[in-house]
Amino acid sequence: MNKPDIKALSTNLRRSIWLFCCVCLLSQSVRAQVANPISITPESTGVREGRFIGVVVGTAAFYTLTLLLLKKQWYKKKVPFHSFNDNGEWLQMDKIGHMTTAYCMSRGGYELMRWSGVSEGASTLTGGLLALLFQTTIEVFDGHSEGWGFSKGDMAANLAGTALFVGQQYGAGQQVVTLKYGFRKTIFPQYRPNLLGHSVGQQMLKDYNGQQYWLSVNLASVLPVGPSFPRWLNMDVGYSGSGMIGGHENPRVIDKDGNEVKFERYRQFFISPDADLSRVGTFSPSLQRFIGTAQFFKIPAPSLEYNKQKGVRFHPFLLPKE
């Protein structure tokens, strides 16, 4: 297996872990928010021993097995520890992905601790430390791996994602700003399927052209609104990139007719309304837990896009295929 394929698989695994954490966290609990308290189940006083043991054992097993798999499959050839600079790759989409992954893992650890009856402060700290432990271990493995190395940019993004969650939880007692993920199919994987993915599932994790990352702000938490204002209404600012079939630059590509295919790499910026489903107080507890699985995925909604190639565009519902 060549090095680009290995690195793509490593990125694939990280995104898989991120998606797994999002689903697990939101299937466990959709917690009350300060701006609009929602009581799902009464909080117990003290640690619930059975749940706590299950969470600790499950987390330790997941961490250990994942690292053993990584070491066996992708980190066989160890070299002296070194760093490298990949900050210019993929129009920084991978860095935003690292930040979102760290945010999600921090919140996932926090929610599992709270579900186990651990105190608010200890749960917040534990969630952040678990995210940093896992992400830092991956970066250290990278630092001993031939073909790439320890990335200071990745670590900065990991710290930023963790700090976004921990800072809000300690400072405001709620998540006023969250990070979300969106995806649409693109034309680019057909030109480098090993790198960008063969199936839709692989492309969701590996094709940065199709990914969008959204900074979602709860309006009722930041604006002086009245009691009739919908507490669940958010406004999102999104970022993506397009035209990328390589990290730093695009390789030369020839189509089946022998013609060279060229793509211009450019950034995309979006703004779109959204909903914070954890602030909808009319759903039953069971339904809240079910719909909460969408909390880290951008809900399709009208959006405005700006990019230097096509200017301003309006999308009535879903973003079009690039």
What residues are paired with 197 via a beta bridge? none
Flag the least confident range among 92-101, 233-242, 295-304. 295-304
Q: Amino acid letter at 98?
A: H
Cα 20 to Cα 101, 122, 245, 250, 277, distances in angstroms: 10, 23, 26, 31, 19
Q: Report whether pLDDT(102) > 60.
A: yes
Residue 45: its pLDDT value, please?
A: 64
Q: What is the pTM of this model?
A: 0.84
Residue 124 scores a pLDDT above 80 = yes
Select, from the ranges 12-16, 107-111, 263-267, the one with the highest average predicted confidence (pLDDT). Answer: 263-267
pLDDT of residue 253: 93
Where helices occur in 74-210 by DSSP H, the ranges are 93-115, 120-143, 152-172, 193-196, 200-206
8 A C-beta contact, residue 112 and residue 25: yes
Least confident of 127-136, 169-178, 264-273, 311-320: 311-320
- Who wins on pLDDT, 203 or 28? 203
Give the pLDDT confidence of 52-89 residue by residue, as tens digits. Answer: 999 999 999 999 998 898 887 777 788 999 999 999 99
Q: How many residues does the chain have?
A: 322
Tell me which residue has tokens 């990584």: 70
Q: Within 197-263, where are the H helices? A: 200-206, 219-222
Q: What is the mean pLDDT of residues 296-319?
A: 92
What pLDDT, on a 0 to 100 scale, did the predictor assign at position 16? 45
pLDDT tens digit sequence for 193-216: 999 999 999 999 899 999 999 999
pLDDT the model gives residue 60:
96
286: its two tokens: 């069971």
The identity of residue 97, as a single letter, is G
Instruction: Kindly report the average pLDDT of the chain as a whole number.
Output: 85
